[in-house]
Amino acid sequence: MTGLEIYKLLPKTNCKKCGLPTCLAFAMALAAKKASLEKCPDVSDESRRALEASAEPPIKTVEIKDDAGVIKLGGETVLFRHEKTFWNACGLAVCVSDASSVADGEAAIAAASALKFERVGEQVRTEFIFVEQTKTDPGDFKILASAAFKSGMLVILSSPSADVIAPVASAHPDRKFIVASPSADGFKRHLDFAAASGLPLAVGCRSLDECAAVSEAVSLAKFGNLIFVLKFQSPAETLDVLVQLRRLSLKKNNRALGRPVIAMTSAAAVVGEGEGARAYDVISEAAEAAQYIEKYASIVAVKTSDAGAHLALVSLRQNIYTDPQKPVSVEAKLYKIGAVTPDSPLLVTTNFSLTYYSVVPEIESSRVPCHLLVVDTEGMSVLTAWSAEKFSPEIIAEAMKKSGALEAVSHKKVVVPGYVAVISGKLSDLTGFTAVVGPKEAGGLPRFLKEFRN
Ligand code: SF4
């Protein structure tokens, strides 16, 4: 709402109890999110409800608890991350189904639970197991659901019958999970069970109209934790519905469609048509999943548990769900890489994460222990920081002094990145150290260090 729209809902008495001189000033402060509604004691209940509803995010947030904390789904406020940022990182799920053998399902669950990686200093992983019942006999589904719970991953249980899910859940009373109905036909029992158990509910929807109808039904039941599930034969269709859901909820203020979404990769065994058609494979599936991470799934469910595919997907997710206005950075300080001595070379670089994590492995692979001084450049890479005057000789000299680098080495040489050779003269003057120009790229460090002598 704009300030003027908010003003129309205020008492307009200018009583100043809110701490501001006029109701209009308070309305403007509310619109700019610099004040909270509680500060006005005289606002009517009707106006309060209208103002609180308008302040809710256009896409609801659904939370699910995990041993490692709380995972939030949805809650996004923009179409493009450069407008602000994307807030709640898309989850990744591995699908297992009773359509395959129990042994295959259990192997996939074991493989999925090992999908943990370290990237640019962060621990990243695939979080969910999506267990689907496709056979009439729920025996195998129950075995796989139990294995999923025991894996310690977050679990989504999808069965046409809530009566199948309930006993599996009661055998694991401490585990929170998502209750899923594969279709909007007969999801009411799932809704009752999810509401009674305090669990999120996911419902398979085949169209935007069906999403809207399901959303209205759960709203009437005063249930908030709804997630749509999209599973189409065509990736283009899934992508189209994902984009429309996001656009309609953000741009047309359609609150019914503003829900988190699970996008399942296509079930197609053949990709493409005619001569270009090919068998479905891991790379095709990863490419399809990548599109859903970018636009606009809250969880992407894939069939593969291939570690290479998942590393690519979690890396993409990590890049999409960072604030584009805040470069990812590491702590600025003096690092010891290997068993350093006072004779070890002293290198200097910036605190941009990707720079640091490019430089360190190259030093390690050279087997030459080094002191690495990481300078606070507000997360900028070498050339960007230099052109923004954040990696100047003065700043590096100051960092050398404050970090203890001057005392850490017995020699008088410091290696600067080749891209900023221009700073070497002034840095030498300021520190009394000879600034040696190193390689431009981190990949040149092993050879450089093997030949370098202090
Ligand atoms: S407390 Fe409420 S009524 Fe009084 S000035 Fe502030 S906004 Fe207006």
pLDDT per residue as tens digits for the range 31-85: 887 888 889 999 999 999 888 877 777 899 999 986 767 899 999 989 998 888 8
Within 10 angstroms of residue 279's Cβ, the number of other Cβ atoms is 9
Answer whether 11 contacts ligand 1 (Cβ < 6 A). yes
121, 63, 53, 55: which is closest to 87 by C-alpha? 63
Q: Which domains are assigned to the chain?
A: 3-55 (1.10.15.40), 61-320 (3.20.20.20), 334-451 (3.40.50.11600)
- Atom 6 of ligand 1: nearest residue by CA position: 18
**Using CA atoms, how far apart are residues 160 and 140, in angstroms rounded to an integer?**
14
By CB atoms closer than 10 A (0-12, 13-18, 19+), residue 235 is buried
158 and 182 Cβ atoms separated by less than 8 Å: yes
Ligand 1: nearest atom to the Cα of 11: 3
Q: What is the pLDDT of residue 267?
A: 63
pLDDT (tens digit, 0 to 9) for every residue of the chain, 454 residues total? 788 989 999 999 999 999 999 999 999 998 887 888 889 999 999 999 888 877 777 899 999 986 767 899 999 989 998 888 899 999 999 999 999 999 999 999 999 999 999 888 789 999 999 999 999 999 999 999 999 999 989 999 999 999 999 998 888 888 889 999 999 998 999 999 999 999 999 999 999 999 999 999 999 999 999 999 999 888 999 999 999 999 999 998 898 999 999 999 986 656 667 777 766 789 989 999 999 999 999 999 999 999 999 999 999 999 999 888 888 899 999 999 999 999 999 999 999 998 999 999 999 999 999 999 999 999 999 999 999 999 999 999 999 999 999 999 999 999 999 999 999 999 999 999 999 999 999 999 999 999 987 6
Look at residue 118 and give its three-state secondary structure: strand
User: Taking phi first (over 0 means left), then psi (-120 to 50 degrees means alpha), and beta for anything else, what does residue 133 get?
Assistant: beta
Q: Where are the beta strands (DSSP E) in 254-345?
A: 261-264, 270-271, 278-279, 299-302, 334-337
48 Cα–ligand 1 center, Å: 13
Distances (CA, A) of 112 to 155, 186, 267: 12, 31, 19
Whether ligand 1 lies within 6 angstroms of the CB of 3 is answered as no
Rounded to the nearest angstrom, the distance between the alpha carbon of 18 and the centre of ligand 1 is 5
Q: Retrieve residue 270's tokens.
A: 């053949």
Which H or E element spans position 116? strand 116-119
296 lines ligand 1 (CB under 6 A): no
Residue 99 Cβ < 6 Å to ligand 1: no
The SS3 of residue 227 is strand
Q: From the CB of 44, is ligand 1 less than 6 Å away?
A: no
pLDDT of residue 68: 63
